[in-house]
Structure 1
Amino acid sequence: MPNVAFVAPFYLPTTLRFLEAAAGLADVRLGVVTQEPIEKAPASLRQRITAYARVDDALSAEGIHVGLRQLASDLGSVDRLLGALEDLQVPLGELRDTLGLPGMGAEAARNFRDKSRMKDVLRAHGLPCARHALIRDEGEATAFSAETGFPLIVKPPAGSGARGTFRVETPAQLRAAVAMSRPSADRPTLIEEFVAGEEHSFDAVSIGGRLMWHSINHYLPSPLEVLREPWIQWCVLLPREVDSPRYDEIRRVAPPALDALGMDTGLSHMEWFHRPDGTVAISEVGARPPGAQFVTLISHAHDFDLYRAWARLMVFDDFDPPDRPYAAGAAYLRGQGRGPVRRVAGLEEIARELGPLCVEWRLPREGQAQSASYEGEGYIIVRHPETEVVEEALGRIITRVRVELATTS
């Protein structure tokens, strides 16, 4: 019976879903390292946790190591160490190296976490990605723009979820983005050429470095465009036709890209562009489960529980590739204006028209605080055997449901 340590710095809703999946595995003794009091976890989850350690910093290797030592009296030595957050992957890799645990080590984790290093690795292996550079001041940014031209993307090297990311189209916008990023010799900023095309994800399961299974999503529109325009209502579509020839090029490129970066065993999230000329370009890759409800979407499209499958994969190196009987999609309900939610219009109409298609939702509530994420204040997930039906349903939702915040703009 393996002893598993799960690092959950905070009891966020998605983190709890992964944690509950790990706690539900048979023949596993589970310990949790967190910054939260155990009382904040659901009672049903607390009953299935063998050991618990609360630490001051569950996002650093040092802090997590403190927690592992605290777990030892109740759990014993750790056989597997896991966590779902992007920010955890390097600290977990460092500890696996130190403790001799199986799984991705620190060097490979840094290939995924440091986006400049990632692109260096990909380009060294002849794999398509945007030209890029680490800049330490405005002068270096200007020199890069003179070489590549506009538009450009400016972002932190270790960012995720499009946080702190800017698209710049003029020298003035570049100067403003660099000023906001405040680069330095110790803390450089990543600048790269803007890649035009349709944006997708390639979410894949690997075991021992071998790609076993994948799923493909469409972003409608891209996350960067959503960030730039607060009024945009957006969605993500998982077509049922995942084996379509239109995805042949990314299926050719993705396995060597993951191999070059050092993917071991786990669920990875690759964002990529399909250019107008038919070629592809890899944007970023995370060595962790995707966010923005993608794990939930994939679960509904394949009629299985990817949260539980991820936990079993990470503990037992085991994964049973599922069929894909449905297309699925998520419509993200973004508030218009600023402040807490004042009202939500159009839900009754959508419920009448699309009720049987809606398989999961988190609806905004009156008085709910405005979200700090581009995911918005809520979501509705739909599924159907036909991709066209799902795409049409998503279009209806984002055009008819309106989340009004206290101060409309």
Structure 2
Amino acid sequence: MRNVAFVAPFYLPTTLRFLEAAAGLEGVRLGVITQEPVEKTPPSLRRRIAAVARVDDALSAEGIHAGLRQLSAELGGIDRLLGALEELQVPLGELRDALGLPGMGAEAARNFRDKARMKDVLRAHGLPCARHALVRDAAEALAFSADAGLPLIVKPPAGSGARGTFRVETPEQLRVAVAMSAPSADRPTLIEEFVGGDEHSFDAVSIGGQVMWHSINHYLPSPLEVLREPWIQWCVLLPREVDSPRYEEIRRVAGPALDALGMETGLSHMEWFRRPDGTVAISEVGARPPGAQFVTLISHAHDFDLYEAWARLLVFDAFDPPARPYAAGAAYLRGQGHGRVRRVAGLEKIAKDLGPLAVEWRLPRPGQARSASYEGEGYIIVRHPRTEVVEEALGRIITRVRVELDDGPST
């Protein structure tokens, strides 16, 4: 029996799916460290959790350590420590190092979390990525732009999910973006060369430093484009042909990149570009499960539960690579304008049109506030054995379904 501590600062829907998966593993006694009141733990989950430690700050090493002391006293020690959020990976690594627990340590976690450090490591190993610099003021940013050219990308070094990321095309836009990020000597801003081309992800399971399995996604369009254009209802496509020769170059460099960054055993999320000339460039890599419903999407494409597989991987260092019998895709439903959802037009027709192609829906609800995330107010997931059928279905969804907000268009 293994005593496992799962850090879940907040009971977000995706976090609860990972928690449910970990709680369902045989041979595990699960303890949870959270900021949530104990009574907010869902009853179905509460029955399968051995202990809950409530702390004031479940995102810091100090707060998590306080929770670990409580769980250790109740469970008789802790064998594994895990959490799914990007922001948790460094404090979890620090605690694993300090307590002698298995799993990724702090140095490797920082390689993944600090995007400037990540690119330094990749370039030192001769791996393709955008040129970059950490700047402390507009003068340093303009000096970099004189060498690298425009456009450029401005982002926080420890960001995730394209949050706080801007594309700048003129010196004035660069000055404004840098000023908005308020850099300093202790808190510089990352700027990097803009890499044109198609954007993809490479999600991989590694055991003992070896890539055991991977999945490839297409962003339609790129997350940065989605952030720039709030009206876009975007899609992610998982082609069934994951072993196609067109992905040979990213398969060639992904394993060495993960190895250089220090990935031993875990699930990673790599974002990468295919340039118009066919070469690839790694954008950034996370040492955690992907967001934006990718875990759900990958689960549907492979007809298995990646939430459960991730938990089993981190607790038992075990993974059974699944086949990929389907292509799958997600269409993200985003309202235009501001305010709350008034209605969703086109749902009845698209539901009848899609039929069994649609395997999961999370629909915007009337009265729901506009999401602050680029994921939007809801999504529809489709799958089929043929990639072209999925791609065509995604196109139908985003052109026929419209989320109307109270200040949005009326029919």
Deviation at 1:59, TM superposition (A): 0.3
Paired residues of 1:38 and 1:46 also in contact (CA < 8 A): no
Deviation at 1:405, TM superposition (A): 0.7
Q: Does 1:343 align with 2:327?
A: no
Deviation at 1:164, TM superposition (A): 0.3
Mapped partners of 1:408, 1:316: distance in 2: 50
Structure-2 residue corresponding to 1:183: 183
Aligned-pair identity (%): 87
Q: Does 1:217 align with 2:217?
A: yes
TM-superposition CA deviations, 1:158-192 (whole Å, max 9, x none): 00000000000001100110110000001000000
TM-superposition CA deviations, 1:109-137 (whole Å, max 9, x none): 00000000000000000000000000000
Structure-2 residue corresponding to 1:95: 95
Deviation at 1:40, TM superposition (A): 1.1
Structure-1 residue corresponding to 2:249: 249
Deviation at 1:69, TM superposition (A): 0.7
Mapped partners of 1:44, 1:74: distance in 2: 21
**Which amino acid in the other structure matches residue 9 of structure 1?**
P
What's the TM-score, normalizing by structure 1? 0.99
Deviation at 1:72, TM superposition (A): 2.0
**Which amino acid in the other structure matches residue 179 of structure 2?**
A
Mapped partners of 1:110, 1:362: distance in 2: 34
**Which amino acid in the other structure matches residue 76 of structure 1?**
G
Structure-2 residue corresponding to 1:261: 261
Structure-1 residue corresponding to 2:291: 291
Mapped partners of 1:209, 1:281: distance in 2: 21
Structure-2 residue corresponding to 1:232: 232
Deviation at 1:209, TM superposition (A): 1.1
What's the TM-score, normalizing by structure 2? 0.99
Structure-2 residue corresponding to 1:204: 204
**Which amino acid in the other structure matches residue 305 of structure 2?**
D
Runs of 4+ in 1 over 4 A off after TM superposition: none
Mapped partners of 1:91, 1:217: distance in 2: 29
**Which amino acid in the other structure matches residue 371 of structure 1?**
S
TM-superposition CA deviations, 1:239-268 (whole Å, max 9, x none): 000000000000000000000000011100
Paired residues of 1:273 and 1:281 also in contact (CA < 8 A): yes
Mapping of residues 55-134 of structure 1, within 5 Å: 55-134=55-134
RMSD: 0.6
Deviation at 1:73, TM superposition (A): 2.4
Structure-1 residue corresponding to 2:193: 193
- Unpaired segments ≥5 residues, structure 2: none
The residue matched to 2:339 in structure 1 has which SS?
strand
The residue matched to 2:340 in structure 1 has which SS?
strand
Q: Does 1:397 align with 2:397?
A: yes
Deviation at 1:200, TM superposition (A): 0.1
- Unpaired segments ≥5 residues, structure 1: none
Deviation at 1:408, TM superposition (A): 2.0
TM-superposition CA deviations, 1:209-232 (whole Å, max 9, x none): 111000000000000000000111
Structure-2 residue corresponding to 1:376: 376
Mapping of residues 303-322 of structure 1, within 5 Å: 303-322=303-322
TM-superposition CA deviations, 1:40-61 (whole Å, max 9, x none): 1210100000011000000011
Mapped partners of 2:39, 2:359: distance in 1: 30
**Total equivalences in the alignment:** 409
Mapped partners of 2:142, 2:73: distance in 1: 56
TM-superposition CA deviations, 1:75-114 (whole Å, max 9, x none): 1211000000000000000000000000000000000000
